Amino acid sequence: MELFWYIVLMTMLTIYVILDGYDFGAGIIHLFFAKTEKDKKAITNAIGPFWDANEVWLIAVGGVLFFAFPTLYASSFSGFYLPLMMILWLLIFRAIGLELRGQIKNRMWEAIWDKAFGIASLLLALFFGIALGNIVRGVNLGMVTDGVSTHEPHFFFLPLWNSSFSPHAEHLGVIDWFTLILGLVGVVSLAIHGANWIIFKTNSDLNPKLKKVIFNLNFVLLALVIISLSTWHIIDPNPFRNFMEHPWLIIFPLMTFTGLLGLFKVKAFKRDGLGFLFSTLFLLGGLASTVASIFPKVLPSTNNVNPSLTLYNVAAHEYGLSVGVYWFVIAALLVGIYMFVQYRVFRGKLDDVGYGEH
C-alpha cells in the first residue's frame, strides 16, 4: 500500500506542476514581455478560467501527504517552515494580483498588481525548483553536530542559507549553489511552459515573439540541465544507480530530452498545442527521472547517523492506507469529472474571455 500511495502522491504533484506551472510561466512572461494592455489581457485570459482550480492540486497533495505519510509531513513542514511560509505569501500575492487589478481603472493601481502577479510567479517557480534541489541533495536529519544527533531522527530545520552557501556544509541552508541551479531550471522551464500555454490558448499578437523567446530560452534550459546533471555527481557519487539496476527507467530521461529537443522546433510548429505538449513532456520526464533516481528515499539524510526517510519508514498504518483507497477512488472520479467539464467548457482560444474585467 505504501507504494500505491507514493505513486498517487507523485502523480498528483506532477499534475500540479504541469497545470499550475503554466500559470507561473504565464506570470513570468507577463512580467518581462507583456508591454501593452492588449498583451497583458491576452495572458490573463489564457489562465483566468484555470489558475484557481489548478492550485487545488497543491492542497490535495498536502492532504494525501498528511494522510499517507504523516512522518514525512511533520518532518518537512517543520524543517522547511521558512520557505513554506514564503511560498504561502507568494501564492496569496499572485492571486490578489490577478483579482484586484481590475477593481480600479488607474494606471498606478494596475501597475502595482501587475508587478505583484509577475514577481510572485517568478519567485514561486524559483522556490519550487529550489525545493526539488533540497529533496535531491537531502537534509541533516536529526540535526547531527560533530557526529552526535541533537534531535529526533526525522527532525531538521533549515535557514534560508548558510554562510558557506555550500551543499556539503554540516548545517545546510535551503538555498545553496546546487539548489539554486535547480531553482533556475524551474524558472526557465516554467517560463517556456507558460509561453507555450499562451500560444496554445490565444491568438495574441505576442505569440510570434513568444516562439522566439521559447527557442532562445531552450538553449539556456539545455545548458542548465547539463550543468545540474554534471554537478549532481558532487552531491551524490552515484546518482544513477537505480537506472543501472532497472534499465526500463531510462524511459523517463528519454521523455525529458525528447521534450527538450522538441522545443527547438517550436518556430516550425503548425499546431499551437505542440509546444505545450513538448514542455509538458519535459516536466513530466524530469520529475519522474528525479523521483526514480532517489527511490525509495523521499528525503535523503546527509549524515551517517540517522537513516534517510523512505516511503516505507514514513508511511501510516496499513489499515488506514487500505481504507483510504475507497475514498480516493470516489474523489478521483469527482475530480476527473470536474476537470473534464472545465476544460471542455473553456476549450479553444480564450481571447474573448475578458478575465478580471469589472
At 110 the three-state DSSP class reads: helix
Average pLDDT along the chain: 89
In the prediction, which pLDDT does 356 show? 62
Local confidence band at 357 (pLDDT 50, 70, 90 cut-offs): low
Which of 110-114, 181-185, 234-238 is most confident? 181-185
In the prediction, which pLDDT does 16 show? 93
In the prediction, which pLDDT does 203 show? 87
User: What type of residue is 80?
Assistant: F
Is pLDDT of 255 > 70? yes
Query: Which of 28, 18, 25, 65 lies closest to 285 in space, CA to CA?
Result: 18
Q: What's the rounded mean pLDDT across residues 90-96?
A: 90
- Higher-pLDDT residue of 348, 219: 219
Which of 25-29, 34-38, 163-167, 245-249 is most confident? 25-29
Is pLDDT of 355 > 70? no
User: Is the pTM higher than 0.85?
Assistant: yes
pLDDT tens per residue, range 338-354: 889 988 888 888 777 76
User: What type of residue is 68?
Assistant: A
What nine digits make up the cell of 242?
537505480
In the prediction, which pLDDT does 85 show? 92
Residue 20 to residue 52: CA distance in whole angstroms: 9
Residue 116 to residue 53: CA distance in whole angstroms: 20
In 167-314, where does DSSP find H-type helix?
177-201, 207-235, 241-245, 251-262, 273-294
User: Rounded to an integer, what is the distance from CA 339 to the centroid of its chain?
Assistant: 20
In the prediction, which pLDDT does 51 show? 85
Q: What's the rounded mean pLDDT across residues 149-165?
A: 87
In the prediction, which pLDDT does 219 show? 95
Expressed in angstroms, the distance from the first to the final Cα of the chain is 49
Q: What's the rounded mean pLDDT across residues 208-217?
A: 93
Q: What's the rounded mean pLDDT across residues 47-70?
A: 89
In the prediction, which pLDDT does 238 show? 82
Q: CB burial class (10 A; 0-12, 13-18, 19+) of residue 79? A: buried
In the prediction, which pLDDT does 287 show? 93
In the prediction, which pLDDT does 259 show? 94
Is pLDDT of 119 > 70? yes
Is pLDDT of 288 > 70? yes
- Higher-pLDDT residue of 34, 124: 124
In the prediction, which pLDDT does 217 show? 95
Local confidence band at 114 (pLDDT 50, 70, 90 cut-offs): confident
Residues 6+ away with beta carbon under 8 Å from 79: 139, 155, 156, 157, 158
Residues 6+ away with beta carbon under 8 Å from 113: 96, 97, 98, 100, 101
Q: Report the percent of the chain where pLDDT is more than 70.
A: 99
CB 200 within 8 A of CB 270: no
In the prediction, which pLDDT does 49 show? 86
pLDDT tens per residue, range 303-331: 888 899 998 988 888 888 888 888 888 98
